[in-house]
Amino acid sequence: MNEAATLPEFKPADYKTDLKPVWCAGCGDFGVLTGLYRALTELQVKPWETVVVSGIGCSSRLPGYVDTFGVNSLHGRALPLAAGVKVVRPDLTVIAVGGDGDGLAIGGNHFMHAARRNLDVTYLIMDNEIYGLTKGQAAPTTPTGDKTKSTHYGNPEPAVDPCELAISFGATWVGRAFSGDLKGTVELMVKALSHKGFAFLNVMSPCVTWRGDDLFKTLKAKQRQLPENHDASSRAAALIYTRETEFMTTGVLYDVSEPTLLDRLAAVKVTALAGKPQPTVADIISSFQPSF
């Protein structure tokens, strides 16, 4: 047996571009990026058959660092682009990435509808609870009372839990990871990427510049795994692990199998044709010429 044939085709380095990340030293996003290289390697995804799409923000620079096809699009708009890619090219692996502000504030509407449609993409939010690129303003995930550059007297607004939103929007796979836990992050990314339908993974990815140096330590202390007997097919059970204050539970909160957008669109094509041959444009045109 030829030993070379048993070796995996792609190594983590094969998914890496020459571009050096713009992120600050110690940024949680490094862990996400490394995790993604490893997850892609584990799944042996062909780089040229993969598209990574992002919006705008620190974390949205990620597609530039992954040597697959990539689009760093506009603020909040990763999911619409991902939808367009996936609907016309079901053969591709499509990953949407971005920050919490990108996905939950300006892009919140798209998040709801991509989840509702069960669009067959993996959506990773790198949740740092802050607007990092614009230098430290409050995000929808910033805890109430926290002082930021735009909440000098303490954040007057309640925060959202992205996983809770994803579950209620209709995502069919929802997980929470912590970028300080690389092994766990890779495992969850592999599961998310393997899911058929809309898979949402919220990766807690601390911002050391605007949220303090010790956030890694704090989150590490708060991290706990889901109990062994957690019923991921139950929405109610999944919601128990949202809006947590004392803990940060990581793992697959929710995982169900439902027809995806692509399944439904394929069915639409069959219904539309009703067993008849595909029409030509000339057929359509002639239907506008009265023939009675």
Q: Which of 33, 66, 177, 215 binds another protein (CB under 8 A)?
A: 66
Give the per-residue contact string, 29-58, with another protein (x = CB under 8 A; - = no).
------------------xxxxxxx--x--
Size of site (CB under 8 A) for another protein: 58
Show the tokens assigned to 165. 């939103």
- Asked if residue 39 lies in contact with residue 203, where contact means CB atoms within 8 angstroms, the answer is no
| Residue 95 contacts another protein per CB under 8 A | no
Show the tokens assigned to 177. 């990871």
Q: Which of 16, 42, 105, 113 binds another protein (CB under 8 A)?
A: 113
Taking the least distance from each CB to another protein, the nearer of 80 and 98 is 80
| Residue 64 contacts another protein per CB under 8 A | yes
- Beta-strand relationship, 248-255 and 173-178: antiparallel
| Residue 135 contacts another protein per CB under 8 A | no
- Asked if residue 125 lies in contact with residue 98, where contact means CB atoms within 8 angstroms, the answer is yes
| Residue 9 contacts another protein per CB under 8 A | no
- Asked if residue 104 lies in contact with residue 202, where contact means CB atoms within 8 angstroms, the answer is no
Q: Which of 40, 82, 199, 203 binds another protein (CB under 8 A)?
A: 82
Show the tokens assigned to 26. 């110690």
Taking the least distance from each CB to another protein, the nearer of 23 and 241 is 23
| Residue 208 contacts another protein per CB under 8 A | no
Q: Which of 24, 43, 112, 182 binds another protein (CB under 8 A)?
A: 112
Report the C-alpha gap between 279 and 22 in whole angstroms: 51
Q: Which of 36, 39, 45, 92 binds another protein (CB under 8 A)?
A: 92
Q: What residues form DSSP beta bridges with 94?
A: 51
| Residue 292 contacts another protein per CB under 8 A | yes
Backbone φ and ψ of 177, nearest 5° = -130, 170
- Asked if residue 19 lies in contact with residue 64, where contact means CB atoms within 8 angstroms, the answer is yes
| Residue 132 contacts another protein per CB under 8 A | no
How many Cβ atoms are within 10 Å of 160's Cβ, its own excluded? 18
- Asked if residue 149 lies in contact with residue 137, where contact means CB atoms within 8 angstroms, the answer is yes
| Residue 81 contacts another protein per CB under 8 A | yes
| Residue 109 contacts another protein per CB under 8 A | yes
Amino acid at 258: E
Taking the least distance from each CB to another protein, the nearer of 14 and 244 is 14
Q: Where are the alpha helices (DSSP H) in 173-227?
A: 182-194, 215-222
The answer to whether the Cα torsion of 191, 193, 196, 197 is positive or negative is positive
The rounded Cα 165 to chain-centroid distance in angstroms is: 13
Taking the least distance from each CB to another protein, the nearer of 245 and 278 is 278
Report the C-alpha gap between 203 and 205 in whole angstroms: 6
| Residue 247 contacts another protein per CB under 8 A | no
| Residue 70 contacts another protein per CB under 8 A | yes
Q: Which of 12, 69, 105, 244 binds another protein (CB under 8 A)?
A: 69
Residues that bind another protein (CB under 8 A): 17, 19, 47-53, 56, 61, 63-64, 66-74, 76-77, 79-89, 91-92, 109-110, 112-113, 265, 268-269, 271-273, 278-279, 281, 284-286, 288-292
